[in-house]
Amino acid sequence: AQSVTQPDIHITVSEGASLELRCNYSYGATPYLFWYVQSPGQGLQLLLKYFSGDTLVQGIKGFEAEFKRSQSSFNLRKPSVHWSDAAEYFCAVGLYNQGGKLIFGQGTELSVKP
């Protein structure tokens, strides 16, 4: 069955430090992969997506993610975190043979220390 695992429930980083959020997926075919961000009381906003091609994808707000097929991973990175990045981050796999429906991980809550 398809699934997404985000091993870290909560991460705290200092402002200006680098960030890496982990995501592992289980899917029998080449996946569509996504990262979303959710601020408190808000809906989810798409940060970036991977379909094919270059395994390093750039997104909004200075985020990037790297697809590693051998590790079934799609980790999100940012070189320097800003206080406004504090939010919850969701990784998702898109099932293109099932209407593109997304299976989400449980999310990682990011806190940023001043």
Partner 1 sequence: DAGVIQSPRHEVTEMGQEVTLRCKPISGHDYLFWYRQTMMRGLELLIYFNNNVPIDDSGMPEDRFSAKMPNASFSTLKIQPSEPRDSAVYFCASSLGTGNGYTFGSGTRLTVV
Token pair 């991973």 is found at 73
In the complex, the smallest distance separating the C-beta of residue 72 from partner 1, rounded to whole angstroms, is 19
Under the criterion CB under 8 A, does residue 67 sit at the interface with partner 1? no
Distances (CA, A) of 114 to 10, 13, 16, 40, 76: 17, 9, 9, 19, 21
Binding residues among 23-52 for partner 1 as defined by CB under 8 A:
32, 34, 36, 41-46, 49, 51
* Binder of partner 1 out of 23, 63, 107, 108 (CB under 8 A): 107
Separation between Cα atoms, residue 84 and residue 75, nearest integer Å: 20
In a 3-state reduction of DSSP, which class is residue 99? coil
- The contact set with partner 1 (CB under 8 A) reads 32, 34, 36, 41-46, 49, 51, 90, 94, 96, 98-107
